[in-house]
Amino acid sequence: MGAGMGEEAMWLAWTAAVAATLYGCVLAGLFLFQRRILYLPDRERPDAARAGVAGLTETRIATADGLSLLAWYMPPAAPDGFVVLYLHGNAGHLGHRVCRFAPFAARGWGVFMPEYRGFGGNSGRPTEAGLHLDAQAGLAALRAMGVTPERIFYWGESLGSGVATRLAVSDPPAALFLEAPYTSIAAMAWRRYPFVPVNWLLLDRFDTLAALPRVSAPVLIMHGARDAIIPPAMGKVLFDAAAGPKELWIAPDGGHSDLTDFGAVAAAADFARRVVSAAPASP
């Protein structure tokens, strides 16, 4: 019996060692390739001329770390009109957001949409710090065109919601619109990999929940009740955390990427009309 118990103990020890080794390999792989897992860029360069958007032009913006990035610009209907600094979501590139321009144009708003590093033919690789530099470069380009802060809205779509919130802390806009926002990438990663110590391994955190209470601008949080990617409950948590004038808008039939189809831009225009100084009435 003693020999049998010894063999069983050795087998259990060997099994535990193999399991620990495999787990360590999984953790190492997730750590080394986490940015490839997190960011899903389409590296093909989109063509503004083929977008079919009236008045849309292509430009280049310079980042603080020396990159030259693609950006698309649609001017507002009036010279002193509002302009949306649009920070898009994770997958694809600018060309996949062509349908977003028409609802803004219908309200006379302009749109400045910078492309991230590593996306849409741009050089560089996406990181949290890098995307923040890209957003800052977009804002600097708008200001160089003479668009003053009280005429600039930030619109953060999904991944871009974390980028827009961080930018709003340092450079307050007229209003901050967050479409399908998350509390943090750490929280999202934990939902997907509950067996992983994400707080130890994660490089890019995009901690919107920590940044949002420091935003002084009015905040509108927009979420689809049927969002299968980012839980609508995260939008409610962010709404509770926001400090300034704020509203939570839920599209009952909306998913993750279709909120403009359910009236998100109209909701933003109504919010701006009511809480933003000198905002025109929406048509």
Q: Quick one: pLDDT at residue 70?
A: 98
Higher-confidence residue of 62 and 15: namely 62
3-state secondary structure of 179: strand
Higher-confidence residue of 128 and 29: namely 128
Nearest to 217 by CA among 257, 252, 245: 245
Q: Hey, what are 46's tokens?
A: 């989109």
Nearest to 186 by CA among 171, 199, 200, 173: 199
Confidence of residue 22 (pLDDT cuts 50, 70, 90): confident
Q: How far apart are CA 48 and CA 71, in angstroms?
A: 9
Assign domain 33-275 to its CATH superfamily.
Answer: Alpha/Beta hydrolase fold, catalytic domain (3.40.50.1820)
Stretch 105-124: mean pLDDT: 97
Confidence of residue 277 (pLDDT cuts 50, 70, 90): low
Q: Quick one: pLDDT at residue 281?
A: 43
Higher-confidence residue of 125 and 202: namely 125
Q: Where are the domains of the chain?
A: 33-275
Please answer whether residues 181 and 221 qualify as being in contact, where contact means their C-beta atoms are separated by less than 8 angstroms.
yes
Summarize pLDDT for 27-46 with one digit per residue, the tens. Answer: 666 666 677 878 888 999 99
Confidence of residue 283 (pLDDT cuts 50, 70, 90): very low
Confidence of residue 189 (pLDDT cuts 50, 70, 90): confident
Confidence of residue 222 (pLDDT cuts 50, 70, 90): very high
